[in-house]
């Protein structure tokens, strides 16, 4: 014999209020019959089937809090990628500009050589304004980097180019050399003393 339960019991089993159950009955989601006391009688098997259906739907529906966290994570990743894209674009533009300057210098002097390794354009806070990395200084005046490295580390006849020696950023076990504005003038004077050819059209 089929078992019928009340709207109140149906609401308790489904975890909703009685008004929701009555709305479902009016909408046809649940079948019910009215007894003599104007009370709804609902088949227990129908209630159990609806409960299983609702539980399955809830299992398949992602938790909204998880979706919010996931969205925030994706937004952070997008912001990081956008920042890296801007930095990469600026870096490429800087390299292209340096290459154009290098080719222009080579065309003017007639001396073509392999371009020096690109070094960071940002000046460390520990050196004065107007300072320049030794490799950039050599490139600026058309002196081969290897030659200028010799001028800095060994010199000519005991006469060396003075620089500011610093630990390399990100690689403290290595050193890099910077020239203050005064040391740049001294380096040019060094080349002139020792007859080193450089491009003076700056």
3-class SS string, 139-192? HHCCCCHHHHHHHHHCCECCECCCCEEEEECCEEEEEEEEECHHHHHHHHHHHH
Whole-number pLDDT of residue 141: 93
Whole-number pLDDT of residue 117: 41
Domain membership flag for residue 96: yes
Domain membership flag for residue 55: yes
Sheet holding 4-5, edge to edge: 4-5, 40-43, 33-34
Residue 157 CB-density burial (10 A; 0-12 exposed, 13-18 middle, 19+ buried): exposed
Adjacent-strand bridge partners of 166:
176
Q: Which domain holds residue 43?
A: 4-60
Same domain, 77 and 127: no
Q: Distance between CA 92 and CA 79 in Å, rounded? A: 20
Same domain, 66 and 56: no
Where are any strands of DSSP class E within 81-155?
132-133
Altogether, the residues listed in the chain come to a count of: 202
Same domain, 120 and 179: yes
Domain membership flag for residue 129: yes
Whole-number pLDDT of residue 109: 61
Q: Distance between CA 106 and CA 94 in Å, rounded? A: 18
CATH of the domain at 16: 1.10.1660.10
> How does pLDDT run along the chain (202 residues), one tens digit per residue?
778 898 899 999 998 988 999 899 888 888 888 877 778 888 999 999 988 888 876 555 555 766 777 788 888 888 889 889 888 888 888 888 777 766 666 666 655 454 444 444 466 767 888 999 999 999 999 999 999 999 998 999 889 999 998 887 777 778 889 999 999 999 999 999 999 999 876 5
In the block, which residue shows the tokens 């890099």? 176
Same domain, 133 and 170: yes
Whole-number pLDDT of residue 184: 94
Same domain, 28 and 47: yes
- For residue 83 the two structure tokens come to 């920042």
Whole-number pLDDT of residue 181: 94
Q: Is the dihedral of CA 87, 91, 94, 96 positive or negative?
A: negative
Domain count, the chain: 3
Same domain, 98 and 121: no
Same domain, 68 and 56: no
């Amino acid at each position: 014999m089929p078992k019928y339960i009340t709207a109140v019991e149906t609401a308790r089993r489904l975890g909703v209020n009685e008004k929701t159950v009555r709305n479902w009955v009016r909408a046809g989601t649940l079948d019910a019959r009215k007894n003599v006391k104007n009370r709804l009688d609902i088949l227990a098997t129908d209630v159990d089937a609806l409960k299983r259906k609702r539980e399955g739907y809830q299992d398949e529906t992602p938790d909204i809090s998880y979706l919010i966290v996931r969205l925030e994570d994706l937004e952070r990743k997008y912001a990081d990628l956008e920042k890296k894209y801007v930095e990469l674009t600026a870096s490429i533009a800087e390299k292209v500009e340096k290459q154009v300057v290098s080719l222009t210098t080579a065309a003017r002097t007639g001396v073509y050589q392999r371009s020096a390794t690109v070094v960071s354009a940002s000046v460390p806070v520990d050196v004065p304004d107007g300072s320049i990395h030794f490799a950039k200084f050599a490139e600026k005046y058309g002196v081969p980097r290897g030659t200028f490295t010799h001028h800095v580390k060994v010199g000519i006849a005991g006469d060396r180019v003075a620089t500011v020696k610093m630990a390399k950023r990100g690689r403290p076990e290595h050193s890099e050399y910077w020239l203050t504005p005064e040391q740049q003038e001294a380096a040019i004077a060094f080349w002139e003393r020792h007859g080193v050819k450089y491009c003076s059209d700056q």
